[in-house]
Every structure is written in C-alpha cells, then in structure tokens.
Structure 1
Amino acid sequence: MRIWASALAIWAGLVLPAMAQTDPVFEARRAAQQIDMAGLALQDAKGAQDRVAALTQTVRAYESGLVALREGLRRAAIRQQAIQLELDARHEEVAQLLAVLVTMERSPETLLLLHPSGPVGTARSAMVLGEITPALQARAEALRSQLEEVALLHDLQVNAEQTLSDGLQGVQTARTALSQAISDRRDLPQRFAADADKLLQLLESSDTLEAFASGLTGLSADDALPPASNGFDQANGALPLPVQGVVLRKFQESDAAGITRPGMLLATAPQALVTTPDAATIRYLGPLLDYGNVIILEPAGDTLLVLAGMDQVFGSVGQVLPPGAPVGLMGGIDPKVTANGANLSEGGGSARTETLYIELRKANTPVDPAPWFRVRKE
C-alpha cells in the first residue's frame, strides 16, 4: 500500500487556489452580452427622436462592453497560463497519479485486498484502501476540473475573437453616425455669438493656457443670461468623468520629467468618447498651443472647465449643451485582439494609450477638479 501513500504525498496541495473572486469566464460572457445589446441599440438609434443622445448612449455601451470583455479575456488568459504552468511543473506527479488510478481501475478489488502476510495483513490492506481511495478520487476530480477549466478558457478566448471584432466595427459605426448627427443638429440653444476676430487675436497673443483662459472670460459673454448649470458647484463628487478612464496624474502631481500641471490627467482608450459632465456653454473649441484639440466649457458663472488632448471636437462656440452631451473623440487606433489574448496579459491599463487633460478654473484660478468627479486610480 506504500504506492497509495506515495501518490497522496505527491499530490498534497496540488489543487490551485482561486486566483480571483470573480470568474473571468462569467465576466467575459456578460461583456459579450453587453456588446450584443449595444448592437441592438445602434439599430434602434436610427429611428430615435434624439439621435445624438441615443447614439451617445450606444457608443458608451460599446466602450464599456469592450473594456469589460478585454479585461475578462486578459484575466482568462492569465488563469489559463497559471493552470498550464502548474500542470507542466507537476508532470511527473500527474503521470504517477494516473498510473495509480489506471492500476486500481484494471485490478479486481479482491486482488488489491490480498496481502502476502495473511488474513491480518489483508484486513489492514482493506482498511488502508478504504481510506486512500476517496482521497485519490478527490485528487483525480481536481485534476479533471483543472483540465476542463483550461479547455473552457481556451474556447472562450477563441469564440470571443468574433465578438471583439463585431464590437470594434459596431462602435466605429456608432461614432461615425454620432458625428453626422451632431453636424445635422440644429436644436441646441445659443447663449451668445462668437466673435471670430477677437478669438483669433486672443489665440495669437496667448502663450499659455492660463493666459488664454483668463482672456476668454472677457469675450462675448452675456452676463444677463443665467449659467448653464445650477448645480455644478454643489456636485460634491457626483459628476461623471468626461471620458471612461482612470486617473494617471492628479492635480499638481509631477510627471516623469518633474513637470507639474494645475489639472488632472486621465488615461483613456483610443477613440474614447468625451462628454460634458454637466450642462455647460461652449466658450472655445479647436487647437490650442501644445494641448492638441481643446474644448473650454462654462458650466457655471466664473467657472471654466478645460478638456484638452482630443483628436476631434464637436459643437460651436456659444452653444449650451445638456449634461452628457458629446464634445469630442480621443485619438489613436482601437487595438486588435488575438484569440489567445496575447496582448491582453500585459495589464488592465495596457489598452489606455490616450490621455485627456482636465483643468478646472474658478475666478481665473486653477483648482483641483477631483472633488467634483467620481474618480478612480489604478
């Protein structure tokens, strides 16, 4: 019976601990369903009364689904690799366990119980076998479960490739339709008319964002009109971020070069949609210094919200936007994903290649924007 004891010793502690509280297979499947629902929403948006709002929600749904699916597949790939490495490292032990199980299966139970020392030895053999067999069976079930999980994770990654492809195509279609719907829109209120000559002069004379924002407050504003938002100053962390992403650098936090800026930097996915956190008037949009495309919003009196680093910006100066209105798209190219998840195992933030700069100015003075928003940092 020493072979049974040896097998048990070899397999002590072989079962892998759970790698995460949430099942990556469940996460990936739920994300795939979200992408499918976004596809249905895209079809419904064609006949929506407010196509801009409907398409904005559709793009957001696609973005959330794609982020969740990539994360689920990334974790599935890590889980599969961990199980495979464990099994490879215990190849000898697995082979011994399988040999023991095969021997037990092929040998009659009466033969296994016989012992050369006679009836007493046989009785002892029966007792030992009765104790060891359930333990060996449990180890065999653990091995079977791991092998089935590896197969399930592999199939998930292969089958999700088409879902990812469909999602990337769908979100691009929705973005294009959204851009067209914004161009066709004529129902937004206009708070004031932009003075193109004054804006141009201000652009040419400003060498910093601070100088431009300070000069902007004195251009074309009609103080007789109420602010676009009545609750911006009382947001207290309730406002959504303008784009789906995570905080890369906080207010006045130095970057790798030691440079600090009076704003917050978000890491976002390529082509991510940027929206207004609250109702606001567009004070400026377009290229500005080295910030790329910039949109400056006025959500409340004496308050400017600067969003910088987009590839495209939507709207026109003087328009009053409702909360959640689209104002731009980030740059970059949506990453392609292979079935084996090779480019997903580098980390959850590996797909966030773009950055959006957020600066909040009150009375021409930058303040930390974080208290206004629901923020998270990886």
Structure 2
Amino acid sequence: MRPSFIRLAFIPLAGLLMAAAPREYSREELSALEAQRQSVIRQLEALEKAESESGQDVTSLERQLISAALESRRREEQAAASEIKLIDLRTRLGSARDALVESTDNLEEIMANLAISGRHRPPALIAAPKEANAAIRAAIVMGGVAPQINEQTDRLASEIAELKSLEQSVLEEQDRLAAAEERLSAKQAEIETLVARKRAQYENVSSEAEALRARVRQIGGEAETLRDLLAALESQAPRAPAIKPRAQIQLAASRTSTPSRTTDAPRNPARSPAVANLRPLGREALGGLMQPVAGFVSRNWGDDLPGGETAKGLYIQPRASSDIVAPIDGTIEYADEFRSYGKLLIISTSDGYHIVLSGMGRIYGTPGQTVRAGEPVGRMSERANPPPELYLEVRRNGVPMNPARWMQGG
C-alpha cells in the first residue's frame, strides 16, 4: 500500500508540531488535536491490517513457490531419466545394427559358397578319382552347413525384430522426453510468475529495498575477495528491511500524542517476525540442508582443483536450465555479479551462517528478501556444453565449512 495519502493527512499536523516553544492549548485546539490523533490511529490500524494481509499473501506465495519447485524438480528428474534411457536405447540400437550387418555378411558368404558349388558338377569317378573325392567331401561339408544356415537365418530374423522394437522404443522415449520438457517449461514459467509477484509484494512494503540493493552493489564493487564481501555484508547490511508505511505512522502518532517532543524514531528497527522465525543452520539443523539443484556432485569438499587449490564447497552438475532452490530458510544478503564467481547469491541464516551459491544463469531474489527452504532463488544457464556447474559453500565468520555436514542424507 502506498503512503502518499498518509503524507497529505500529516500536513495540518506538521504545522502544529513546528511551534518554536511550548504553549497552552485551547479546548478547541485540543479537540482538533485529539481528532487528528484518532485519525492517525485509524490509519495505522488500516495499514497494520494491510501489512498483515500482505504477510499472508507472501506466505501463500512461498508455499506455492516451494510446491512448484518440488514439481519442477520431479519433472527435471523424469527428463534426466528419459535422457539416460534414450542414450542406452540408442547404444543398444547401434549394437543391434552392427550385429545385423555381421550376420547378413556371414549368411551371404555361405550362400555364395553354395552357389559356387552348385555350378561345378563333380567329374566321373573313373576319369578323375581325386577330384571326385574332393567333390564328395565338399558335398558332405555343405550338408553339415545347412543347419548353420537355418540357425543364421533364425538369428537374423530375431535381430531384425529386436531392431524394429528398439527403434520404436527410441521414438516413444523421445516423445516422453519432449512431453517432460514441455511440462517442465510450463512449471518454470509458473515459478517465474510467482517469483515476480513475491518480489513486487516485498518491494511494496519495504522502504529500504532500492537503497539496500544499491548499498550491496557498492559493497560488491569495493570488496576484493569473498571473505571481504561477507565481512562487509555482516557489518553493514541490515537483517530485515523496515516496513514503509508503518514506521512513518508510528513516528507521527508518537509525535501527536506528545506535541513538545521532537525525537526521531530508531534508525535500526527490530527484526521482523518473518526474519525472527527463520530456521537456523546450527547443530540442530544437521542433515537439514537441501541440495539446491537436482544433479550429481562432481567435486566434494577437499577435492583437488585446477591450479593446486582444494575445494571449499560442493560442485553440483545439473541439467541445463534447472531450477535452483534455497537450501534453508534465510535472508538474501547479496544477489549480483562478483569477480570470477559470476552471478553470486549469498543467503544468511538467523544464527550467523552464510550460504554461498554461484554459477547460476539467473538470480530471482533481491537483497533483504527472506526465502524459505525449497523456494526457487534462481536458474542454471541454458548452456549444455560444457555442462553448467553450481557451487555451494557454507561459511561462518568468513571461514568455509564442509556443507556435507548439514546436507540431507550426508
């Protein structure tokens, strides 16, 4: 809800508050002041109701996003399984074709030998006894070959039938893969719509959204390393944005109730309930960290990397364009390009941990926004070769920690 109408309501009130020195008020002035106070209170109640409804809308959107992300991951796994099956079918199809060619060649060779033998009648035994004996032996051999010919033709017929079956299976699996890709694309479009709605809802109630994004971009430009960036975010970025209308109304109401008082409201408001209720990552969350994207872990914590360094996190290889979800509840601290990391997303938990994700093609969230575990926060690039790779890191006080300690099933 936009606060423009609130500023209009405060114009008469501002004139009263600018008195240079305390003075006594007449009964009429006190009545007018009380009427204004009651008006502000009613506006505050309306805004609190709107804020509550906005919070309910965000909660509903988060549930829809998590549900959509789960369905999207299921579709991705189906598509990946179809791709693997298709590769296996095509391999078997190639082997069947090779076997068919070999069997055909063998059968053709046997038939050619039979044809040659049929064109050479054996000579009379009295005229050429040696040649006649050789012809008799050849006839005996050819008689033994007949069962082999029958076996070869039967095998050839079986291989032809298997080849046709495999070709049909490949076509059917291609159709299944295309259908899975189509359903996945529709689900990802739904996720993007929900993400846009949640972001608009967040920006509508956050007075610091744009300023916070600018501050985070400035910090990212000044920081040289990821550790510097995390330290800067820890010291400068607020845990939760202020609520736009409510802070202004509360300040005006406090001034109205005591006309001579001119102190400002606190600059750093308390954490919002949404942030206060976020699930921590500490010892109680061991085994509760979700894998942010469907795929296989290509490199683990401590594995050797090119250049002689060791991995300080996990490297996950998903399918191209896979959806990325928040591994745990938290607040987005950074969502932008950063040095060699490319697109970098940093999520802070309520107990001081930082989840670092890099290598994605798109980022959905914005600094200051709260996210729930399983909620989509980005998408991998469409690049298929080389395959995309997502990097996951867990840090505490700037020090990398093994993510496998918190991973589900780890």
Q: TM-score band (shorter)?
A: 0.5 to 0.7
The partner residue of 2:80 within 41, 59, 67 is 67
Unaligned runs of 5+ in 1: 1-47, 100-128, 336-350
Pairwise CA distance, 1:211: 1.1
Specify the alignment match of 1:207 in structure 2: 224
Pairwise CA distance, 1:138: 8.8
1:303 has 2:360 as partner? no
Task: Give matches, 1:1-378, under 5 Å.
Answer: 51-93=64-106, 144-185=157-198, 195-196=212-213, 198-218=215-235, 219-221=237-239, 226=276, 228-230=278-280, 233-333=283-383, 353-374=387-408
**Is the 1:62–1:171 contact (alpha carbons within 8 Å) kept by the matching residues of 2?**
yes
Pairwise CA distance, 1:230: 4.0
In 2 relative to 1, CA 309–319 (structure 1 residues): closer, same or farther, beyond 3 Å? same
Specify the alignment match of 1:7 in structure 2: none
**Is the 1:232–1:299 contact (alpha carbons within 8 Å) kept by the matching residues of 2?**
no
**Is the 2:86–2:174 contact (alpha carbons within 8 Å) kept by the matching residues of 1?**
no
**CA offset digits 1:124-151 (Å, max 9, x no partner):** xxxxx9xx99x99998776654433221
Q: Which has the higher helix share?
A: 2
Number of aligned residue pairs: 284
**CA offset digits 1:208-260 (Å, max 9, x no partner):** 11210122122213686646214664444453310111122222423344344
**Is the 1:193–1:220 contact (alpha carbons within 8 Å) kept by the matching residues of 2?**
no
Supply the RMSD in Å over aligned alpha carbons. 3.9
The AA in structure 2 aligned to 1:176 is: A
Q: Which sits farther off after the overlay, 299-308 or 89-98? A: 89-98
Unaligned runs of 5+ in 2: 1-60, 113-143, 241-269
How far, CA to CA, are the matches of 1:368 and 1:230 in structure 2? 17
Structure 1 SS opposite 2:392: strand
The AA in structure 2 aligned to 1:270 is: A
In 2 relative to 1, CA 89–294 (structure 1 residues): closer, same or farther, beyond 3 Å? same
How far, CA to CA, are the matches of 1:324 and 1:311 in structure 2? 18
In 2 relative to 1, CA 145–372 (structure 1 residues): closer, same or farther, beyond 3 Å? farther
**Is the 1:277–1:323 contact (alpha carbons within 8 Å) kept by the matching residues of 2?**
yes
Structure 2 SS opposite 1:354: coil
Pairwise CA distance, 1:301: 0.8
TM-score (norm 2): 0.58
The AA in structure 2 aligned to 1:242 is: P
How far, CA to CA, are the matches of 1:362 and 1:227 in structure 2? 20
**CA offset digits 1:303-349 (Å, max 9, x no partner):** 0000011121112222222221000011124x6xxxxxxxxxxxxxx
Structure with bigger gyration radius: 2
How far, CA to CA, are the matches of 1:361 and 1:160 in structure 2? 43
How far, CA to CA, are the matches of 1:82 and 1:323 in structure 2? 46
TM-score (norm 1): 0.63
**Is the 2:334–2:367 contact (alpha carbons within 8 Å) kept by the matching residues of 1?**
yes
The AA in structure 2 aligned to 1:356 is: L
How far, CA to CA, are the matches of 1:90 and 1:308 in structure 2? 53
**Is the 1:273–1:326 contact (alpha carbons within 8 Å) kept by the matching residues of 2?**
yes
How far, CA to CA, are the matches of 1:150 and 1:212 in structure 2? 59
How far, CA to CA, are the matches of 1:191 and 1:375 in structure 2? 37
In 2 relative to 1, CA 137–352 (structure 1 residues): closer, same or farther, beyond 3 Å? farther
In 2 relative to 1, CA 76–182 (structure 1 residues): closer, same or farther, beyond 3 Å? same
Identity percentage of aligned residues:
20
**CA offset digits 1:173-205 (Å, max 9, x no partner):** 332332122111266799995634542442222
In 2 relative to 1, CA 143–90 (structure 1 residues): closer, same or farther, beyond 3 Å? closer
How far, CA to CA, are the matches of 1:96 and 1:197 in structure 2? 79
